[in-house]
Amino acid sequence: MTVDHYHHMSWLHKSLSVSVYPIQWLAAAPVQLSHTLANNFRGRDVLLQENEHLRKELARLKQRTLKYEALLKENDRLRAFLDNSFKLGEQMLVAELVSVNLAPYEHRVLINKGSHFGVHVGQPVLSVDGIVGQVVRVSPTNAEILLITDPSHAIPVQVNRNGLRAIAVGNGRLDQLEVPNLPNNADIQTGDLLVTSGLGGVFPQGYPVATVTEVKTQAGSRFALITAKPSAALDRIREVLITWSQESARPFLPLQASPASGAEQTVPASPRPDSDEH
Amino acid sequence: MNTEDTRHYTTILISLVVAMILRLLEWPATLSMLNPDWVLLVLMYWCLTQSDRYGVGLAWLTGLLADAATGRLLGQHALIYALIAYGCVRLHTHLRVFPLLQQLAYVLFFLLCSQLIMFFIEILQGKPPLSWTYWLPALTGTLAWPAVLSICRAIQWRNPAHY
């Protein structure tokens, strides 16, 4: 039982994981098939509608990207002044969920990318809407993700509105997070967006985690009862993005590629592997 | 290895693979809470009916694979399956002649034992407390036992010497 704790035995675990992969694949096949069928037999008007919708969305996002580029440059210059020339998580890999039921009392999911693709334990996993979880186990073909709603998971967050730091803890429901240990008079209200604070070193800073749905003050207690709804639709996601933030964190400056940024001054000579994110 | 042996092995292998697939199949959330441990049920069947051939060893190996497939601590299922298989092999002479109702009581007992050991192992790993729904698979497993019994009997090789 304690085999897991010895590093030299991990090959056994790895080979076992690989040998059960066909069974996992078979177990996931019905769901996969139903998705494929649903995609194939979709009406023309539905597709046209979706196309239209996506085109609008693309236009909107492109327009936002224009602004983003400018803001990125500005942020870049400001960070150079602060001697905090570090950037996290830009490299991403798309992985698909393997629909298998690991343990009903835990929020763990399996994805179809493993150490063959360089996935490693502790990597943050996002969806297009927000943080999904982190990688907790890797085999050559698969990786296991612990969702942020698992009762054993906690993620450092801050309120996007005012920067108030807190920790969001899973409570075992797929659509709910709890924010414990905030005093009754903390400046947090319904509708506040919680983003990752980057403390703790696992998750990159500034990604949406959840929206506060309820703030209840308790008469007998010093702490408020705060619940939030995860931004990512954890019960419906099919695809996730795995990011590289720690291992391959790259220095943000110097920017040889874009000479217009004017960042030649205050550039640290080398990247600092131990920034405040670690 | 003669052809009959090969047939035995393939039957057992296929039944265990199907059980594992049933165990891993993704149901809607409420159903997956009820999903019993099919692998253990099938193992129990083989340990009861073929107790002179299969027992703790097969259970141990299957358990290791179950651990890898469900991402548990390696050896967790292996330990539980081996213990239950030992119980089945020890009691197979009684259990085989029991009426179904009495058999069900024993199956429930075995399944509850397996859940209890699993519970302790999970707690030892520092997992947060589990809700009461954790114990439901033992009940549904007991209810599924007659189905497992009849299906396994149907696929089992015809051999008057056994069962």
Q: What is the pLDDT of residues B76-123, one digit of tens each?
A: 999 999 999 999 999 988 888 889 899 999 999 999 999 999 999 988
Q: Domain ranges in chain B?
A: 3-24+37-155
Question: Which of B26, B31, B81, B135 should we substitute to test contact with A (largest number of A Cβ atoms within 10 Å)?
Answer: B26
Asked whether residue A200 is domain-assigned, the answer is: yes
Q: Is the dihedral of CA B64, B68, B74, B79 positive or negative?
A: negative
CB contact under 8 A, A104 and B33: yes
Q: Output the pTM of the full model.
A: 0.77
Asked whether residue A1 is domain-assigned, the answer is: no
| Half-sphere exposure of residue A40: CA atoms within 13 angstroms, side-chain side | 6
- Where is B110: in which H helix or E strand? helix B100-124
CB A78 within 8 A of CB A264: no
Asked whether residue A116 is domain-assigned, the answer is: no
Residue A196, φ and ψ in degrees, nearest 5: -65, 140
Minimum mean pLDDT among A228-232, B3-7, B59-63: which range?
A: B3-7
**How high is the pLDDT of residue A266?**
38
Average pLDDT over residues A43-61: 91
The answer on pLDDT for A154 being more than 60 is yes
**How high is the pLDDT of residue A263?**
39
Q: Which structure tokens are listed for A112? A: 């179809």
Q: What is the pLDDT of residues A181-194, one digit of tens each?
A: 898 888 998 999 99
Residues of chain A neighbouring B75 (CB-CB closer than 8 A):
1-3
Domain that holds residue A184: 154-230
Q: With cut-offs at 50, 70 and 90, classify the pLDDT of residue B56.
A: very high
Q: What is the pLDDT of residues B123-160, one digit of tens each?
A: 888 777 778 888 999 999 999 999 999 998 888 866 54
Peptide bond into B137 cis (omega under 30): no
Q: Which structure tokens are listed for A78? A: 């400001």
Asked whether residue A17 is domain-assigned, the answer is: no
State how far the Cα of B69 lies from the Cα of A98, in Å rounded to an integer. 12
The CA–CA distances, whole Å, from A131 to A180, A194, A199 equal: 19, 11, 15
- Where is B3: in which H helix or E strand? helix B3-24
CB of A108 within 8 Å of any CB in chain B? yes
DSSP code of A151?
A: T
**Beta strand A108-111 with A208-216: parallel, antiparallel or unpaired?**
unpaired
The answer on pLDDT for B163 being more than 50 is no
CB A166 within 8 A of CB A173: no
Asked whether residue A222 is domain-assigned, the answer is: yes
Asked whether residue A8 is domain-assigned, the answer is: no
Total domains in chain A come to: 2
Of B33, B35, B65, the CB nearest to A20: B65
Distance linking the first and last C-alpha atoms of chain B: 22
Asked whether residue A166 is domain-assigned, the answer is: yes
Give the CATH number for residue A185. 2.40.10.350
Predicted ipTM beyond 0.85: no
Asked whether residue A146 is domain-assigned, the answer is: no
